[in-house]
């Protein structure tokens, strides 16, 4: 029941992340950065909230953490079904998902199976949730009826129904599994030290890289800055906890948003590979094997740009990412709550668009037209990804020399 509760809670978090629309992959051939985003976007709010929630609940009772977790589930649910709309709804959804992630990490404690379930479910739903929505909305797919009153409501019926089922299951399983559990306190100072500046600084770098007049040099500089940021943050965590952050950052760099999903079969294969990779990583954890797999995927992505090969790297990626991630667990609850959003916050836009305006039919309004202004070529993207994964591998090797930390203190 503890593992099931984490799976459902992670799914709710990940599905909410999919609704916030994370950036596209750095290596995906179809990646497009549709519009310039502000530094403080929904993913940043989610990451900050997860950090603050895990720290605030570090010494709370299980019942207190449960109240926060179930309340956060309901907030995400209300946002999804259109009961909380507009900008307030956007903020509520991001804060609710972040609070659920932080509370779930605390409830998972250092139980390796619970942490792996939460992480894989959140990542899987975050990466594949949008693809699931698209498949459910095709013309020949199932049709659901969902009447919502109000011009501001933009509810996707399929997403709403899925979220209702998942949220109710998460709330019930969380209560059943953790109502009588004794929680252990964990490190709080370092969680704040890393968790608060990390997503904001990553957002600033992404903002620079996404400027409509930025060239390859600016983009590569932003990526180098992101790598430095990830390494420094990883070493600021106690013991070996920073490995989780490094693995997720490397995954984001080589294209973890680029799972190949075009039909239901590919969606099922991607999800299955994610689960299988996590299962093998749980049973036979080998950190260096996982990092080696990421290097192989990055190298394959480089070769695929010049040799006619099947897109093996896109299908191997879910398996390798899940294996590498689970191999680095367990970690402190606070470290987990900070590291998981990094897969979505520590990415850079690939294709940069600038909005130009052309006169419309009405004399009082203009039509905005997005035009592509810059895009690093495949060689730049692939080599950069390969270098970053190599740097992360070296950093993880250094972290492995540290003694493991069983419990933290503030």
Give the number of other Cβ atoms within 10 Å of residue 49's Cβ: 24
CATH code, 2-353+375-399: 1.20.1250
Radius of gyration of the chain (CA): 21
The answer for 359, left when phi > 0, alpha when psi is -120 to 50, beta otherwise, is beta
Q: What is the pLDDT along the chain (410 residues), one digit of tens a residue?
A: 999 999 999 999 999 998 876 544 433 344 343 333 444 578 889 999 999 999 999 999 999 999 999 999 999 999 888 887 777 788 889 999 999 999 999 999 999 999 999 999 999 999 888 888 878 776 554 444 444 433 345 677 788 889 999 999 999 999 999 988 888 888 899 999 999 999 999 988 887 777 656 677 888 899 999 999 999 999 999 999 999 999 999 988 886 445 666 778 888 888 999 999 999 999 999 999 999 999 988 888 777 766 666 666 667 888 999 999 999 999 999 999 999 999 999 988 765 544 444 444 433 444 444 455 556 777 777 888 889 999 999 999 999 998 877 554 43
Which DSSP string corresponds to 329-384? ----HHHHHHHTTHHHHS---SSEEEEEEEE-SSTT-EEEEEEEEE---HHHHHHH
Question: Rounded to whole angstroms, how far apart are CA atoms 252 and 240?
Answer: 20
Report the length, in residues, of the chain: 410
**Among 118, 27, 119, residue whose Cα is nearest residue 316:** 27
Residue ranges of domains in the chain: 2-353+375-399
């Amino acid at each position: 029941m503890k593992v099931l509760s984490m799976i459902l809670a992670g799914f709710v978090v990940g599905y909410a992340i999919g609704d916030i629309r994370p950036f596209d992959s750095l290596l995906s051939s179809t990646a497009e950065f549709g519009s310039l985003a502000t530094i403080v976007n929904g993913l940043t709010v989610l990451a900050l909230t997860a950090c603050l929630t895990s720290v605030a609940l570090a010494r709370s009772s299980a019942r207190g953490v449960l109240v926060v977790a179930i309340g956060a589930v309901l907030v995400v649910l209300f946002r999804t079904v259109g009961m909380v709309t507009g900008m307030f709804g956007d903020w509520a959804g991001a804060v609710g998902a972040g609070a659920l992630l932080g509370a779930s990490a605390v409830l998972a404690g250092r139980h390796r199976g619970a942490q792996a379930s939460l992480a894989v479910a959140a990542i899987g739903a975050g990466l594949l949730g949008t693809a699931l929505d698209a498949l459910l909305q095709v013309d020949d797919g199932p049709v659901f009826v969902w009447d919502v009153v109000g011009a501001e409501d933009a509810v996707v019926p399929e997403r709403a129904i899925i979220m209702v089922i998942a949220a109710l299951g998460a709330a019930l399983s969380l209560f059943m599994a953790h109502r009588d559990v004794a929680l252990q306190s964990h490190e709080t100072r370092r969680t704040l030290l890393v968790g608060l500046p990390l997503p904001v600084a990553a957002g600033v770098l992404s903002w620079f890289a996404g400027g409509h007049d930025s060239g390859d040099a600016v983009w590569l500089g932003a990526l180098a800055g992101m790598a430095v940021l990830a390494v420094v943050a990883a070493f600021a965590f106690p013991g070996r906890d920073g490995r989780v952050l490094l693995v997720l950052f490397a995954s984001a760099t080589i294209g973890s948003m680029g799972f190949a999903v075009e039909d239901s079969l590919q969606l099922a294969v991607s999800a299955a590979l994610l689960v299988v990779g996590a299962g093998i990583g749980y049973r036979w954890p080998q950190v260096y094997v996982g990092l080696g797999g990421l290097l192989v995927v990055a190298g394959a992505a480089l070769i695929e740009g010049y040799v006619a090969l099947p897109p093996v790297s896109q299908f191997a990626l879910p398996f390798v990412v899940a294996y590498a991630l689970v191999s680095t667990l367990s970690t402190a609850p606070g470290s987990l709550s900070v590291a998981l959003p990094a897969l979505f916050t520590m990415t850079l836009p690939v294709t940069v668009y600038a909005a130009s305006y052309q006169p419309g039919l009405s004399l009082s309004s203009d039509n905005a037209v997005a035009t592509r202004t810059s895009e690093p070529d495949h060689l730049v993207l692939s080599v950069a990804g390969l270098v970053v994964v190599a740097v992360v591998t070296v950093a993880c090797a250094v972290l492995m020399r540290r003694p493991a930390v069983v419990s933290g203190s503030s």
